Structure 1
Amino acid sequence: MKVAIVGAGFSGIEVAHRLRAAGHTFTIFERADDVGGVWQHNTYPGAACDVPSYLYSFSWAQRRDWSRPCSPQAEIQRYLREVAEADGILPHIRFGTEIDETRWDETALTWTLSSADGETHSADALVLACGQLTRPAFPQIPGMEQFAGPAFHSAQWDHDVDLTGRRIAVIGTGASAVQFVPEIAKQAARVDVYQRSAPYMMPRRNPVYPRAVRTAIRRVPGLQKLRRYGMWGVMETFILGYTKARPLKAAFRLWSTSFMRLQLRDREVRRKVWPRHEFGCKRILFSSAYLPALQRPNVEVVTDRVQRIEPDAVIAADGTRREVDAIVWGTGFHADEPVAPMKVHGSGGQELQAAWDGGARAHLGITVAGFPNLFLMYGPNTNLGVGSIIVMIEAQAGYVLSALGLLRGGGAGASAGRRALSVRPEVESASTDAVQQRLDGSVWTQCQSWYRKDGDGRVVGNWPGFMLEYVRLVEQADSRDFDLLTTR
């Protein structure tokens, strides 16, 4: 099979690793100039993973020399490049190539990809490894385009801008802001943090590994595997609390609120940043530096919404005018539109985003009815409230190879000629309906979040169960789930 992969982050590299081992031909198209995906783009101060690296890494490419439990961005990006190079994947990547349209040819049973530079490419199968957190989201605020100073999104950090001694407005308090606010607060004259919704926090100190620990990890047989599966178990326990065991969830909430009370000595700041939503319905954030940073004398938390922006100031809804020199947008991503703005045209010319009008959906988060030989990585309803997405990605890649194996080996009743698999509409409907039934009334429906379509619609991001459950569910593609398309 000739396979096209869009995206050279964790998902793209994982699929490429599996394809190469199975003897398929593949090309990865990556718009950036290096591998890494989200870890290549997000270079803001303090950027790091909040899942320990011994689990947030490939099972087949384990490192025993991580500098600390939750590795910083540069270390993760370097790991991905080293893996891609060692595995022979780098020569198969076309960097600086953005795919803006793909189209299924019903006669030839092939995908045609069109890149932004006008080139076209053909493939038997298409894997979209674009990720959910790739397209920065900006709020629509009157006057924002008139701001005279530097203004940039956390995922597009402008390192040429020196924030030392400057007045900065940070708009948004999600996972990125929790990491970069403590860093910029150390150097800025003043930081105004505009908060729409306060997150629940959990501790994360993340010290550098002592030499003795590094030596033990490197030399003690089985220790790395023990750590890896131990952390997997801890995260599955969190998921159990989210989904089934209410007393366990109450215990986790008590842990979070106790930690926050200990850190929030300033009563006024505590009042402002105390969460008002259900525990777990938004992403729980891990930091032991964020809440102390909000209590620094040069930091102010603003809970009034931003009414407008002037060339040199941000105006809040209460009329307060705060002069600023720079704006940093910590406003997240368009997570509910995982392949946009790329256009994907399937059978009959139907466009994927149109098919997803009520919210993205896919059988097992991987295949979509009407889009033959198309496979999604980190697709709809495969995100985790707590856990390592790498576990999900590896499972999905295995499913993709299993599906391609049905075509290669004729397991779906294939005959001579080109072949394609199209998941049956009733299979997709049954699969997605079952997921939504489990999500109805779950913690993830209790507030607005990026897990949901347009913030308050159906849950399109999260998987409703355990990581292990999903791994077992996608272990083998079932030929009965697909219609077989052939040419002669």
Structure 2
Amino acid sequence: MKTPRIAVIGAGFGGLAAVIELKKRGFDSIVVFEKGDDVGGVWRENTYPGAACDVPSPFYSYSFELNPRWPHRFSRQPAILDYIRDVADKYDVRRHIRFGTEVVGASFDASTKTWTVELGTGETVEVDVLVTAVGQLSRPSFPAIAGADTFAGPSFHSAEWDHAVDLSGRKVAVIGTGASAVQFVPVIQPEVAHLDLFQRTPPYVIPRPDRKFSALHHRVFERVRATQLVERGTWYGLVELLSIAWVYSKPLAAAIKAISRAHMKRQTKARPGLFEKVWPTYAIGCKRILFSDNYLPALAQDNVDVITEGIREITPGGVVTTDGVHHDADVLIWGTGFKATEFLAPMMIRAGERDLAEQWSEGARAYYGMTVPHFPNLFIMYGPNTNTGGGSIIYFLEAQARYLGDYVEFLADSAGPLGVKPDVEEAYDQRIQSQLADSVWSQCSSWYRNSNGRVTTNWPALGLDYKKQATFRPEDYEVLPA
């Protein structure tokens, strides 16, 4: 198999990293299936007001394509999408992409040693290697609340923002207080008549050291590349401190908690009683901490109420809480996150008689998040246990792309498809889950864990540890018989 045919599903950061790495190594028989009309993944889809990254852009970007002209340290969605588009153009990725093409399933045939990819159009495409790059945060999640379908006004998820809805002078109900809500609530608060924020669990909030990069910054970054490397390295170190705190250092975690408490106290003092509502009681780091300087001041405004009672039902005219109070609403916005633990769903992935969803019934798992026993020549970008509790996922994606390149190079010289040895993956999974069992992420309910309590999203150590450990070793794999 000197020139394997490769299919990549998704054209976000992960898909682009995979394609660029493969092209650098001389593999060009690549097709990318993208259900949207452009590259960008979550940064194309999430256009809600205030959408931005909570990792500084000098680090939340490819190491091989530094950008000297970021408009802000914490860049907004339009700037990130422009960056992804520019990368796709520069590295000639677009000619490989079939836009508007959704993959509904794929099956591996051991007799032909190929994957048959099933498209939403009914068409099938045969390839040798299947790379999924659909991410963990691509499918909006809606909690099961009685009467949700009866609401009479506009209703939408933050990831599917309806920009045609004018919020001016309206009563708005926001359900959820995660990363998206922390960003869009301060933007819409000044224009709405009233905002009810329904909070199940409050987030820890810490200061957001953002700044606008000036023309001088841009000139220096462009002319002295070392300054970009210093900026990137500095932020790498700072965000990895969060991982160190959650994984290794309780004193450091305590210090970050103290910073968060002081910040949240200061930002809520204008409204008596607000701090007590928004201060978390779970261990810091158990859920993703959030960076913001304007979320809590927005909650302190007269036209906002933070409601901590549970929701009993939704009516055509609003939301009823468990204390029986009806909260009138003209517009309902869901800020309830994503189905992060349902990896690769709703696609049906099969290998012979095996169904991947059934194999993962207790929780998704893969060798370093990338390869799965009994599913040869299947490779996953941003798969199980490759999320980071503090760093940049792009750092992980680049490590995975390098692994993919080594994997495909070895495959090209092999006599048949490659499958990770079950005992190798089993030993790896036991080690990772043992580390996670003692981690802060096992101490509360969050999108890091599935319904069985298994932490399926997060890597239990530093990004540097992942980069060092996740190296392709031929002895970890077996070649299927010719």
TM-score scaled by structure 2?
0.97
Q: Determine if the alignment matches structure 1 residue 228 to structure 2 residue 224.
A: no
| C-alpha separation in 2, matches of 1:467 and 1:310 | 46
Aligned to 2:356: 352
Pairing of 1:96-111 with structure 2 (within 5 A): 96-111=100-115
Instruction: State the AA in 1 paired with 2:294.
Output: A
The counterpart of 1:325, out of the listed 326, 330, 337, is 330
Residue 273 of structure 2 is matched in structure 1 by 268
Match of 1:469 among 428, 450, 465: 465
CA distance in 2, matches of 1:436, 1:267: 43
Q: Return 249-258 or 61-70, whichever deviates more.
A: 249-258
Q: CA separation in 1, counterparts of 2:118 and 2:126? A: 9
The residue aligned with 1:36 is: 40
- CA distance in structure 2 between the aligned counterparts of 1:267 and 1:345, rounded to whole angstroms: 56
1:484 equivalent to 2:456? Answer: no
| TM-score relative to the length of structure 1 | 0.96
Equivalence for 1:442: 439
Displacement of 1:252 in angstroms is 1.2
Inter-partner Cα distance in structure 2 for 1:421 and 1:395: 19
Q: Deviations over 1:407-460 (max 9, x none)?
A: 2234xxx4xxxx210111111111111100111121001100000012x61110
Shift, 1:221, TM fit = 3.9
Q: Tell me how far 1:486 sits from its aligned partner.
A: 4.0
Q: Contact between 1:242 and 1:249, CA under 8 Å: does it hold in 2?
A: yes
Give, in angstroms, the shift of residue 205 of structure 1.
Answer: 5.0
Aligned to 2:407: 403
SS of alignment partner, residue 102 of structure 1: strand
Matching of residue 460 in structure 1 with residue 456 in structure 2: yes
Asked if the contact 1:141–1:307 (Cα under 8 Å) also holds between the matched residues in 2, the reply is yes
Q: Give the 5 Å matches for 1:303-342.
A: 303-342=308-347
Match among 11, 16, 27 for residue 8 of structure 1: 11
Q: 2:217 aligns with which of 208, 213, 219?
A: 213
* Distance in 1 between residues matched to 2:406 and 2:213, nearest whole Å: 39
Deviation of 1:353 after TM superposition, in Å, equals 1.1
What code does the residue aligned with 1:470 have?
A: Y
SS in 2 for 1:386: coil
1:364-383 superposed matches below 5 A: 364-383=368-387
SS state at 1:453 partner? coil
Per the TM alignment, residue 8 of structure 1 is displaced from its structure 2 partner at its CA by 0.4
Percent of paired sites with the same residue:
45
More moved, 316-325 vs 212-221: 212-221
Residue 278 of structure 1 pairs with residue 304 of structure 2: no
CA distance in 1, matches of 2:158, 2:353: 36
Amino acid at match of 1:8: A
Q: Contact between 1:147 and 1:311, CA under 8 Å: does it hold in 2? A: yes
For the residues of structure 2 that align with 1:407 and 1:380, how far apart are their CA atoms?
A: 23
Distance 1:451 1:391 in 2: 19
- Distance, in Å, in 2 between the alignment partners of 1:163 and 1:481 is 55
Is 2:128 the counterpart of 1:128? no
In the alignment, structure 1 residue 85 sits paired with structure 2 residue 89: yes
User: What's the CA shift for 1:279?
Assistant: 0.5
For 2:252, the equivalent position in structure 1 comes to 248
The separation in 1 between residues aligned to 2:255 and 2:112, in whole angstroms, is: 57
Q: Which moved more, 1:258-267 or 1:84-93?
A: 258-267
2:183 equivalent to 1:179:
yes
Equivalent-residue separation in structure 2 for 1:126 and 1:279 (angstroms): 38
Structure 2 counterparts to residues 111-150 of structure 1, below 5 A:
111-150=115-154
Structure 1 CA distance, aligned partners of 2:24 and 2:188? 44
| Paired residue total | 477
1:294-309 matched pairs, under 5 angstroms: 294-309=299-314
Contact (CA 8 Å) 2:103, 2:347: kept in 1 or not?
yes
Alpha-carbon distance, 1:358 to partner: 0.7
Cα drift, residue 139 of structure 1: 0.9
Moved over 6 A (4+): none
Q: In the alignment, is the contact (CA less than 8 A) between 2:241 and 2:390 conserved in 1?
A: no
Aligned equivalents of 2:225, 2:90: Cα separation in 1: 24
Give CA deviations for 1:170-212 in whole Å, capped at 9, x if unaligned. Answer: 0000000000000110111111000000000011152322333
Q: Which amino acid aligns with 2:205?
A: M
Paired with 2:456 and 2:277, the residues of 1 have a C-alpha distance of: 30
Residue 158 of structure 2 corresponds to 154
CA contact (8 A) 1:103 1:349 kept: no
Alignment correspondent of 1:288: 293
Residues 272 and 301 in structure 1, CA contact (< 8 A), matched pair in contact too: yes
After superposition, the C-alpha distances for 1:286-330 in whole angstroms (9 at most, x for unaligned) are 110100010111111000111111111111111111111110000
Q: Return the letter of the residue paired with 2:468.
A: R
2:25 aligned partner: 22
* C-alpha distance in structure 2 between counterparts of 1:267 and 1:409, whole Å: 68
The aligned counterpart of 1:343 is 348
Aligned residue type for 2:404: V
Choose the corresponding residue for 2:193, options 164, 189, 194.
Answer: 189
Structure 2 residue runs of 5 or longer lacking an equivalent are none
